[in-house]
């Protein structure tokens, strides 16, 4: 009794500082910003209470929904691009030879670079006149495939997804490798003795064993994609004419370029609500248990 | 085991001793500093500027601040330089939090108006009236965009024409063409250069304001005349959906339809566009006076010798004055309302120093145009600067759109122009701009 109470006391004492920080810097501002959403405020001068007008405008704003659509495209690209690629790489690179370590390091490298650096590198790869990509197409004799990658509305969003996928594979790969290494070796040995083929082993042993990790990675992927901002901000700023706008960049532009602080707050609240819905939805979809 | 503990203990002790030693000496030096300060009772002033670049103008301004600090030991400046790209946003953010620095680089027009509306500024009329000679030295109308209801809030430290047509003389003579006088000339030039496989006009519209500030502000004025624009922003008898403004948009679209700009102009920025022109990869560019400092710092002397400058061509049946270009007086130092007493006197002194005739002259010699009457020594500046300086003496300036429109409407216009240049419909875009303007007018009533 006394020991368990003491353990509980330790747990509380250990969690409390983090909890307080989290409350003050994450939870409170969320509600604060929802509250600012009720005002018409230019940043300077008095704020005017306008009730739900900002929220009503968000719902009717075509650019907001365009941003949402672009966010969904990034979510799709992450879940169906990043996760499988990270998984395949993890399966290939579980062993720790020199070669594997080299490849692992190079896949993880973009994570270490600042997003601004990544954005600028890819802006130059895609540069319409002096870009590496157009140059390669030129020298491969594929001139008719040359594009202004970041400013042609029909392809710019897809052009942006590639660096986003490339940039964030690393951490997911590491998470998968850790999960794979946690599968008890007895199970693998038993499977080997029973003569299980490689693909059968993958689908009946390996994947079910790390299914919980996959779920976590997918949630991380969705929330990460909804926060997508830095690369887009550096590469296109959401332009041209809102074609690569995502929710976060639209929120930033509304707040800090147009100086509609109230409207920007309303957008961020809408982003939180949409994100929660998506995460809940994905959790529900993945509920079926493979074990 | 015991030995490791001993070593660990020793290490901790040594580190703490070293650390204590350090903090002790720091305290001593701080004490020394404060005793020196109390003798003269220093006046403290904070100032924010955006002169962080490597160009001559920024260097001049930074040197002026340093010199001021040296000459006035009784005034202590807390100087913060913020890179130009993020400067406006940061200033607006501290304005929102009501934590303005005492002095700050401030834009004329809409920004001055917004700050004044928020009760953040105090006028400097007293300073101007105490130095009539200095006041007379400014070019006519220099204060108008800094003045609200008779109160002047800053004096311009520069001048920014936003719409100059720069052209490459060598390319023009190689293709036997002249700078455009009329719109037909312009379209003809585009055709000629495209045939010769040269990009006619370099454009870097990634940040979206360039097509608006540099091209449309002047092109629009050619078509509609200045009076129409002033009526449209006041919402008195003119709308952006009027046929004349739609026509101006149509002219701009005509340029992009004729492939006047290089591919992907919406994904490169203003600096890259200036580089393209400086490296002879395009025959023309439409850019502001700020290009001159950048070119002087980055382009080769031979390249600059080949550059010429003129105004945008006339349009058929246009109501605007063809001898004009859009422009604003440059930034000035705004003074926070919270500064008073001895600090106010010190602030006045600094405002005067930063915009004094000597500094204006130095600024001009740093290839940056000023709103002050100064004789230009052409041997000290680049040839293209001298040419623009001469050009400005012969034309008058018209308003820049985003200097007068509210941020919300300017944003809609900027994005609309990107859309227009990608093949959008002028009428629809004009309507979007007017919708935003209607909303703005309704909110201000």
Of B411, B416, B419, the CB nearest to A257: B411
Beta B43-49 vs B103-106: how paired, if at all?
A: parallel
Task: Note the helical H segments in B196-299.
Answer: 210, 217-224, 226-234, 243-257, 270-278, 290-298
B275 and B144 share a domain? no
- Shared domain for B194 and B275, answered yes or no, is yes
Cβ contacts of B445 within 8 Å, gap of 6 or more = none
Phi, psi of B310 (to 5 degrees): -155, -175
Q: Which residues pair with B152 in a beta bridge?
A: B147
Longest CA span, chain B = 97
Pairwise CB contact (< 8 Å): A148 & B416: no
The reply to whether B408 touches chain A by the CB within 8 Å rule is yes
Q: Which residue would you say has higher pLDDT here, B5 or A23?
A: A23
Which among A42, A123, A151 has CB closest to B266? A151
User: pLDDT tens for residues A179-223?
Assistant: 998 888 888 888 888 888 888 888 888 888 888 899 889 888 888
User: Are B267 and A126 inside 8 Å of each other by CB?
Assistant: yes
Residue to substitute from A57, A159, A241, interface B, most B β-carbons within 10 A: A241
Question: Rounded to 5, what percent of chain B is helix, strand, coil?
Answer: 55, 15, 30
Per-residue confidence (pLDDT) for residue B34, from 0 to 100? 42
Which among A262, A271, A282 is positioned nearest to A71, based on CA atoms?
A: A271
Residues B343 and B319 in one domain: no
Contact B179, B167 (CB under 8 A): yes
Question: In angstroms, what CA-CA distances link B92 with A262, B70, B114?
Answer: 15, 31, 10
**B218 and B175 belong to one structural domain:** yes
Burial of B437 (0-12, 13-18, 19+ CB in 10 A): buried
Report domain extents, chain A: 1-31, 37-285
Among B208, B407, B419, whose Cβ lies nearest the Cβ of A259? B407
- Does B429 lie at the interface with A, CB-CB under 8 angstroms? no
**Whether B261 and B172 share a structural domain:** yes
Do A239 and B418 make contact, defined as CB atoms within 8 angstroms? Answer: yes
Report how far Cα B119 is from the mean position of its chain's Cα atoms: 24
Q: Do B92 and A153 touch (CB under 8 A)?
A: no
Q: Which of B267, B276, B443 faces A151 most closely, judged by CB atoms?
A: B267
C-alpha B199/C-alpha B193 separation (Å) is 7
The pLDDT value recorded for residue A24 is 92
Contact: A258, B408; criterion CB under 8 Å: yes
B237: Cα within 13 Å, side-chain hemisphere: 4
Q: Is residue B236 left, alpha or beta, with left meaning phi > 0 and alpha meaning psi from -120 to 50?
A: beta
- Cβ–Cβ of B418/A261 closer than 8 Å? no
Q: Residue B266's domain spans which residues?
A: 161-328+388-444
Question: B311 and B239 in one domain?
Answer: yes
Q: Is the pLDDT at A1 greater than 80, yes or no?
A: no
Closest residue on chain B to A50 (Cα): B443
Residue B381 located in a structural domain? no
> Would residue B7 count as lying in a domain?
no
- Reported ipTM: the value is 0.81
Residues B222, B269 within the same domain = yes
Chain A residues with CB under 8 Å of B419 CB are 240-241
> Which chain A residue's Cα is nearest to B273?
A129
Contacts of A45 in chain B (CB under 8 A): 117-119
B1 touching A (Cβ < 8 Å)? no
> Do the domain assignments include residue B200?
yes
Residues of chain B with pLDDT under 50: 1, 17-38
Is B95 touching A (CB cutoff 8 A)? yes
The pair of structure tokens assigned to B332 is 């000035």
State the total domains in chain B: 2
Other C-beta atoms closer than 10 Å to the C-beta of B38 total 8
Residue A123: pLDDT above 50?
yes
Same domain, B182 and B304: yes
pLDDT of residue B4: 58
Residue B205 · residue B421 · CB < 8 Å: yes
Nearest to B410 by CA among B87, B88, B49: B88
The whole-model pTM stands at 0.81
pLDDT at A65: 93
Residues B238 and B316 in one domain: yes
- Please indicate, yes or no, whether residues B110 and B196 belong to a single structural domain of this protein: no
Alpha carbons within 13 angstroms on the beta-carbon side of residue B343 total 17
What's the pLDDT at B31? 41
pLDDT at B54: 76
Q: pLDDT tens digits for B72-100?
A: 999 999 999 988 777 888 888 888 888 89
Check B264 against A256: CB less than 8 A apart. Answer: no
Q: Does B92 touch chain A (CB under 8 A)?
A: yes
Q: Using a CB-CB distance cutoff of 8 angstroms, which residues of chain A are in contact with residue B198? A: none
| CATH classification at residue B300 | 3.40.190.10
Instruction: Return the residue of A nearest to B114 by Cα.
Output: A44
Size of interface A-B (CB pairs under 8 A): 94
Q: B103 and B216: one domain? A: no
Query: Same domain for B286 and B420?
Result: yes
Orientation angle between helical segments B290-298 and B56-71, nearest 10 degrees:
100
A37-285 CATH fold: MetI-like fold (1.10.3720)
Task: Say whether B142 sits in a helix, a strand or coil.
Answer: coil
Residues of chain B in contact with residue A150, where contact means CB-CB under 8 angstroms, are 264, 266-267
């Amino acid at each position: 009794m006394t020991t368990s109470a003491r353990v509980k006391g330790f747990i509380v004492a250990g969690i409390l500082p983090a909890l307080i920080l989290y409350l003050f810097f994450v939870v409170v501002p969320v509600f604060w910003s929802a509250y600012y959403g009720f005002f018409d405020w230019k940043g300077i001068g008095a704020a005017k209470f306008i009730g739900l007008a900002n929220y009503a405008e968000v719902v009717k704003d075509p650019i907001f929904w365009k941003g949402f659509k672009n966010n969904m495209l990034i979510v799709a690209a992450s879940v169906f691009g990043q996760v499988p690629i990270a998984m395949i790489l993890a399966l290939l690179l579980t062993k720790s030879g020199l070669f594997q370590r080299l490849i692992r390091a190079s896949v993880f490298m973009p994570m270490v670079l600042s997003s601004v650096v990544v954005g600028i590198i890819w802006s130059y790869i895609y540069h319409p006149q002096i870009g590496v990509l157009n140059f390669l197409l030129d020298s491969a004799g594929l001139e008719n495939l040359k594009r202004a990658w970041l400013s042609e509305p029909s392809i710019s969003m897809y052009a942006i997804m590639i660096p986003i996928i490339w940039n964030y594979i690393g951490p997911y790969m590491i998470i998968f490798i850790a999960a794979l290494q946690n599968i008890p070796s007895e199970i693998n040995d038993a499977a080997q003795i029973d003569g299980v083929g490689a693909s059968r082993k993958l689908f009946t042993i390996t994947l079910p064993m790390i299914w919980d990790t996959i779920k976590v990675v997918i949630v991380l992927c969705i929330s990460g994609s909804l926060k997508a901002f830095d690369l887009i901000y550096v590469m296109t700023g959401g332009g041209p004419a809102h074609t690569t706008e995502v929710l976060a960049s639209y929120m930033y532009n509304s707040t800090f370029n147009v100086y509609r602080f109230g409207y920007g707050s309303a957008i961020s609240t809408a982003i939180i609500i949409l994100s929660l819905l998506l995460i809940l939805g994905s959790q529900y979809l993945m509920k079926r248990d493979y074990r | 085991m015991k030995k490791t503990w001993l070593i660990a203990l020793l290490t901790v002790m040594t580190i703490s001793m070293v650390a204590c030693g350090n903090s002790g000496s720091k305290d001593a030096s701080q004490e020394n500093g404060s005793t020196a300060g109390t003798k003269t009772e220093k006046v403290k002033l904070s100032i924010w500027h955006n002169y962080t670049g490597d160009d001559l103008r920024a260097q001049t301004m930074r040197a002026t601040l340093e010199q001021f600090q040296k000459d006035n030991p009784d005034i202590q400046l807390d100087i913060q330089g913020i890179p130009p790209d993020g400067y406006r946003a940061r200033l607006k953010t501290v304005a929102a939090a009501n934590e303005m620095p005492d002095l700050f680089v401030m834009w004329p027009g809409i920004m001055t108006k917004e700050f004044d509306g928020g009760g953040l500024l105090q006028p400097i009329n007293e300073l101007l009236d105490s130095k009539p000679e200095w006041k007379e030295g400014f070019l006519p109308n220099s204060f108008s965009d800094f003045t609200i209801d008779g109160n002047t809030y800053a004096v311009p430290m520069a001048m920014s024409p936003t719409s100059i047509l720069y052209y490459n003389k060598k390319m023009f003579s190689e293709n036997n063409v002249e700078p455009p006088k009329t719109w037909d000339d312009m379209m003809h030039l585009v055709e000629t250069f495209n045939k010769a496989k040269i990009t006619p006009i370099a454009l870097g519209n990634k940040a979206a304001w360039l097509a608006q500030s540099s091209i449309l502000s002047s092109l629009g004025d050619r078509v509609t005349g200045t009076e129409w624009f002033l009526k449209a922003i006041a919402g008195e008898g003119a709308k952006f959906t009027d046929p004349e403004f739609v026509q101006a948009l149509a002219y701009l679209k005509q340029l992009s339809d004729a492939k006047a700009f290089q591919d992907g102009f919406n994904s490169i920025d203003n600096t890259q566009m200036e580089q393209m022109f400086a490296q002879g990869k395009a025959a023309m560019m439409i850019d502001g006076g700020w290009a001159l400092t950048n070119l002087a710092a980055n382009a080769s002397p031979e390249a600059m010798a080949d550059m010429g400058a003129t105004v945008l061509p006339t349009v058929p049946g246009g109501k605007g004055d063809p001898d004009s270009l859009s422009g604003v007086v440059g930034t000035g130092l705004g003074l926070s309302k919270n500064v008073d007493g001895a600090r106010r006197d010190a602030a006045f002194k600094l405002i005067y120093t930063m915009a004094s005739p000597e500094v204006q002259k130095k600024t001009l010699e740093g290839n940056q145009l000023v709103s002050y009457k100064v004789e230009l020594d052409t041997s000290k500046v680049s040839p293209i600067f001298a040419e623009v300086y001469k050009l400005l003496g012969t034309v008058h300036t018209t308003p820049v759109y985003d200097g007068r429109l509210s941020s919300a409407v300017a944003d809609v216009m900027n994005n609309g122009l990107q859309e227009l240049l990608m093949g959008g419909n002028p009428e629809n875009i004009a309507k979007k701009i007017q919708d935003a303007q209607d909303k703005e007018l309704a909110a201000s009533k």
